[in-house]
Structure 1
Amino acid sequence: MSDTLAALLLGILEGLTEFLPISSTGHLLIAQHWLGARSDLFNIVIQAGAILAITLVFRERLWALATGLRERENRVYLGKIAAAFLVTALVGLPVRLLGWELPETVSPIAVALILGGIWIVFAERVAAGRPPSAKITWTVAILVGLAQVLAGIFPGTSRSGAAIFMAMLAGTGQRSAATEFVFLVGIPTMFAASGYALLEYFLKGSGAAGGGEAWGELALAFVAASATGFIAVRWLMGYIKQHSYTPFAVYRIALGVALLLWLPAGA
């Protein structure tokens, strides 16, 4: 398989999985086990392509928030988005600099997929026993930020999944409200992560050790992730109005078990 086709497939995979609670990072690392490893820059920037899709899907909501700052409700909501982002940045940056993360091998990802599936089932059961609240509290905002950091430490956890179900457990029982808030928090979070990755890349001499980044392939994967991400988000926001996230939990657990059974030790 050519490198260009592999990059295209990875972009499509990123767009389809970034917003579903099944871990885009985990799926990318698993795919790269067979398609060939890519740089951290590649993985983070194509995630930004998927986040661009979120910006397009929620453009009307973002515009309403930006132009409605005279309304206290909008100011408070934006403040909570900012709080979640700041928690992620202030806690996540030191964690990244200290190198606190599991190795990006398939076995830890498989375990994270299984544990994440159990987490989804638990969160859904707890939320089902509560009144369907759409309120985003300051506590929810802070815990969403911490959940994003946790997902960064454990590849395969799913940033969106960890944050959505943390919000549901913390009191935002309405799936659509929790999902929208997490997706909006993801816009500054992932764009900041991509900017940081680019800064690291150029400060290290533009990847001279690896012969430089394949920018054409990166651009192709970015566009593919944006297009498929847009479709995935539109579908998911409609799906969760009538359905639970439990099927995704079943998928995570089945995939995790399959990987542990079929992959060689240490993979």
Structure 2
Amino acid sequence: MTDILLGVIEGITEFLPISSTGHLLIAEHWLAPRSELFNVVIQAGAILAVTAIYWPRIWQLLTGWREPAQRDYLLKLFVAFLITSALGFIVVSVLKFKLPEALAPVAWALLIGGVWMLIAERLAADQPDRQTITWRVAILVGLAQIVAGIFPGTSRSAATIFVAMLAGTSNRAAATEFAFLVGIPTMYAASAYELLKCYKAGALASENWSSVGIAFVVSTITAFIAVKWLLGYIRSHRFTAFAIYRIVLGAVLLIALATGVA
């Protein structure tokens, strides 16, 4: 049952702007913690779901690269991915960075991120409706993915979407599409890297693959439903509800930590 619950949490939170890493850390604080391999595999399920949703757009970009507009968009996706990959390699392999597992940084990231989302949404609303992805947007989105990766609770989706909106792509749908398309190769690469580490450490043989498989399927299905819903929701709604949720959850966590409940 725990595996199913974690799969649902991962599927819902991976692409919604509320932080999957933060929610999994919170869940595993009260539930039995799972291996790094388990978390990598269920994340792969969520990536697979969003890949399926965006496959027509991905195919359009890959087959239409001779068209200037498609080639320009594809190059910007590549540059954003390249920035994240290069800086990610430095942070992980050179600086030996490891994600903090304490709840306090997650709580603060959720709270501060929620406030930032409210401010950013307001600022973006004052701009003309722009759907174009500029080079500045591409570069900043690549940088935003690194920031989100270092601070659990930040949310990769929230960081990239709102950076894109503030940097010039004020249209929510256009900013979300670029953020998600950049996230697909980024997260595949990160998952492959973590799987390789688990393989070298011999963790694959000791893993309970039936539990992993169930959580993977649950995560894939849940993420597909969550992303499809989100893409319809943002056509006529702002991200305000997600910001409020983050603020409330962060505040509750801080109170729980202060009172010794967590």
- Normalising by structure 2, we get a TM-score of 0.95
Residues in 1 aligned to 2:251 and 2:97: alpha-carbon distance in whole angstroms: 25
- TM-fit CA distance, 1:101: 4.8
- Is 2:135 aligned against 1:141? no
Identity %: 59
- The answer (yes or no) to whether the contact 2:40–2:195 under 8 Å persists in 1 is no
Contact 1:133 1:171 in 2 (8 A): yes
CA distance in 2, matches of 1:40, 1:163: 24
1:213 aligned partner: 207
Q: Which residue of 1 aligns with 2:21?
A: 25
Unmatched tracts of structure 1, length 5 or more: none
1:177 maps to 174
Question: Which among 198, 202, 216 is matched to residue 222 of structure 1?
Answer: 216
> What letter is aligned with 1:119?
W
Which residue identity does 2:165 align to in structure 1? M
* Runs of 5+ consecutive residues of structure 2 not aligned to the other structure: none
Check whether the contact 1:41–1:194 (CA below 8 A) recurs between aligned residues: no
* 2:158 alignment counterpart: 161
**Corresponding residue for 1:255?**
249
Root mean square deviation, CA, Å:
1.5
Q: After superposition, what is the alpha-carbon deviation per residue over 1:139-192, rounded to whole angstroms, capped at 9, x for unaligned? A: 111111111111111011101111111111111100000000111111101111
Corresponding position of 1:81: 77
CA 1:51–1:102: 2 relative to 1, 3 Å: closer
Instruction: State how far apart, in whole Å, the 1-side matches of 2:13 and 2:58 are.
Output: 23
User: If the length of structure 1 is used for normalisation, what is the TM-score?
Assistant: 0.93
Task: Out of 173-182 and 95-104, give the one that drifted further.
Answer: 95-104
* 1: CA distance, partners of 2:201 / 2:9: 28
* Matched residue count: 260
Instruction: Tell me which residue corresponds to 1:199.
Output: 196
Offset at residue 119 of structure 1 (A)? 1.3
Residue 42 of structure 1 corresponds to 38
What are the Cα deviations for residues 82-123 of structure 1, in whole angstroms up to 9, with x where unaligned?
111111110012112223355211111000000110111111
Contact (CA 8 Å) 1:101, 1:154: kept in 2 or not? no
Change over 3 Å in CA distance of 1:262–1:143 after alignment to 2: same
The residue type equivalent to 1:141 in the other structure is A
* Paired AA for residue 31 in structure 1: A
Q: C-alpha separation between the residues in 2 aligned to 1:61 and 1:224?
A: 25
The answer to whether residue 7 in structure 2 is matched with residue 11 in structure 1 is yes
* CA–CA distance in structure 2, aligned partners of residues 150 and 265 of structure 1: 29
Matched residue SS, 2:203: coil
Aligned to 1:188: 185
Structure 2 vs 1, CA of residues 266 and 152 (structure 1 numbering), >3 Å: closer, same or farther? farther
Return 93-102 or 61-70, whichever deviates more.
Answer: 93-102
1:99 matched to 2:96? The reply is yes
Amino acid at match of 1:230: F
**Aligned-residue offset at 1:23:** 0.4
How much has 1:45 moved relative to structure 2? Answer: 2.1
Q: 1:266 to 1:9 in 2, by over 3 A?
A: closer
**Pair 1:62-2:54 in alignment:** no
How far apart are the structure 2 equivalents of 1:29 and 1:156?
9
Q: Which moved more, 1:34-43 or 1:53-62?
A: 34-43
Paired AA for residue 224 in structure 1: V
